[in-house]
A and B are shown apart, each in its own frame.
Chain A
Amino acid sequence: MWVLLGVLVVVVGFAARQNPLSIVVVAALVTGVAAVIAPGVTPAVLLAGAGETLAVLGKGFKDNRYISVTWMILPLIGLLEREGLQERARVLIQKLAGLTSGLLLLIYLIIRQVTAAFGLTSLGGHAQMVRPLIAPMAEAAAETQAPGLTDASRNRVKAFAAATDNIGLFFGEDIFMAIASILLIKGFLETNGIIVTPFALSVWAIPTAIAALLIHGTRLLLLDRALNREAAR
């Protein structure tokens, strides 16, 4: 039961707006020390627990380096921005008269969902797609819709661009049979003596995918209405 102290550190730490990286390290050490708490525990045992936890944390950190490899894209994105990629993305959108911010993001949502459903999850992402292309495009469209856009609305449009990328990815990828989550479900059920095909799992991801499109799509169109209302004011 004591190991839940680590979870508590995470919740309190984020709520108190401490630095997330520090929260992670403190939560890990608290969890590891709490795990060795038992009747009659001595400080030496707790210290040994902290040492072991540091090793587990270090191994986890080392084994997951592949997550940070994607930052290798930054020099490319930086170069492209220097040559005006974001500006070009804006011009392109302003040429397409009538393309609103919400509509643009709705189209992106559909593309992201459909490509993810075919396993093409790498066609998107925040560093590669949203920052250099999608967010500036959505922003430019919003500026055309509501000249003199407030900063609050501008940030909301940018946040929607990122959210749309996430939602399209999450609720598209599970329709692809060979995606990690489907294989995890299949493997888990197999160890519990239940055989399901990846196809059956991916088919039942479709209703939720449609619901995600309807719900988030509606919110994107409502975003357009809010922008138009701002323009009228």
Chain B
Amino acid sequence: MIGLPVLYVLAGLLFAVFAIGSATDRTNPKRWGNAVFWGLFAVSFLAGTWLSDTVNGLLLVAMALAAGFNLLGKGQPAPQTDRAERAQRWGNRLFVPALIPPAVTLAGTFLLKGVEIGGQPLVDPKQVTLVSLGLGIVLATVAALVMFRASPAVAVREGRRLMDQVGWAGLLPQALAALGAVFVAAKVGDVIGLLAGEYLPLNGPLTAVCAYTIGMAVFTAIMGNAFAAFPVMTAAIALPLIIGQYGGDPAIVCAIGMLSGFCGTLMTPMAANFNIVPAVLLDLPDRNGVIRVQIPTALALLATNTVLMYALAFRF
């Protein structure tokens, strides 16, 4: 059965190649820092399953230390001047390899789901989308190598150029998910839910709705993830008050409550893969540049959600 382990090996090998490439990159003044950082990441991918939880934790700590002490740098590849000419030569054919991954992900998600070989599913049913994405990336990369007559070494070098640009931020979404696991184990959510239930003024449906939508957004901003905030805030405010006491419709309250949490996601650096990673990928001088642009939309939508919940939940 093809599942996450296959992807982990592929990704681990790629990070290992990045580490080796970094070690030999004399244009990067901090090349050893990069080599160690991506090397540790490769270890986590290739061997993490068999290492103890503590060792996995130490890997993360070591990478965080490397990032915190600013040990990562960037290679300075010779500037490329012929991109416009190359673009002209290829024309719109350039878009074909770019569109293979989404197309294969889409097709794979539908087509690979039921495929069985000897009574065993070919692809882990829980991971069909990720496996399809991995397959799409591999196919597209091979197609691009053939089309451009480039050697795999060029692909790895170009990939490492981008990985250098992303740097430690590439690890951040995964590290934040690990922090979420610690928050759950320490019952941080329960404490916040208790405080919210105890100290917020909740006399009447309007204040309860406001406390729920705003609480969802704030708690999501803290946790970086609406999924972590939803059970806590809903159990603290929505179930006992909005639904229980004031008779709000559970489907409306919960659907709009979750979307209020998404407004919080737009405003927090804790949602790194949506907010910090693109700022790095797009070379924005301000790490919070994407968040800054999103805040007005998020606040307006949060207000809209509050009005919608109040107007709809007690009517249907």
Contact = CB atoms under 8 A, between A and B. Distances in A.
Interface of A: 1, 3-4, 6-7, 10-11, 14, 18-22, 24-25, 27-28, 31-32, 34-35, 51, 53-88, 91-92, 120, 122-124, 126-128, 130-133, 135, 155-156, 158-163, 165-167, 170-171, 174, 180-181, 184-185, 188-189, 192, 194, 196-197, 200-205, 207-208, 211-212, 215-216, 219
Contacts, number: 411
B87 A72 contact: no
Nearest to B56: A58
Interface residues of B, number: 141
Nearest to A63: B181
Which of B83, B91, B276: most chain A Cβ within 10 A? Answer: B83
B296 to A, nearest CB: 7
A49 to B, nearest CB: 10
Contact of B57 (A18, A54, A120): A54
Contacts of A78: 155, 157-162
Contact of B67 (A22, A171, A194): A22
A122 B141 contact: no
Contacts of A76: 97-98, 101, 137, 140-141, 144, 155, 159
B178 A83 contact: no
27 contacts: A4-B191, A19-B68, A51-B54, A57-B179, A58-B53, A59-B178, A65-B45, A67-B273, A68-B174, A71-B14, A75-B155, A75-B158, A77-B159, A78-B162, A81-B83, A88-B92, A122-B101, A122-B133, A133-B95, A155-B289, A158-B284, A159-B292, A166-B274, A167-B266, A196-B251, A204-B255, A208-B304
B98 A53 contact: no
B8 interface: yes
B290 interface: yes
B154 A79 contact: yes
Contacts of B91: 88
Interface string B289-314: 11011101100110011001000100
Contacts of A73: 101, 137
A205 B259 contact: yes
B250 A189 contact: yes
Interface of B: 4, 7-8, 10-11, 14, 41, 44-45, 48-49, 51-61, 63-65, 67-68, 70, 80, 83-88, 90-92, 94-95, 97-98, 101-102, 105-106, 127, 129-130, 133-134, 137-138, 140-141, 144-145, 148, 150, 154-163, 166, 168-183, 185-188, 191-192, 222, 226-227, 230-231, 234-235, 239, 243, 250-252, 254-256, 258-259, 262, 265-266, 269-270, 272-279, 281-286, 289-290, 292-294, 296-297, 300-301, 304-305, 308, 312
A69 B134 contact: yes
A62 to B, nearest CB: 5
A181 B95 contact: no
B133 A212 contact: no
Contacts of A160: 293
A155 B282 CA distance: 8
A31 B180 CA distance: 11
Contact of B297 (A56, A85, A88, A219): A219
A192 B188 contact: no
Which of A11, A27, A78, A123: most chain B Cβ within 10 A? Answer: A78
B133 A204 contact: no
Contact of B251 (A34, A59, A200): A200
A87 B84 contact: yes
B137 A65 contact: no
Given A69-B11, A159-B284, A194-B250, A64 B178 contact: yes
Nearest to B254: A185
B255 A174 contact: yes
Nearest to A128: B101
B141 A79 contact: yes
A212 B301 contact: yes
A67 B92 contact: no
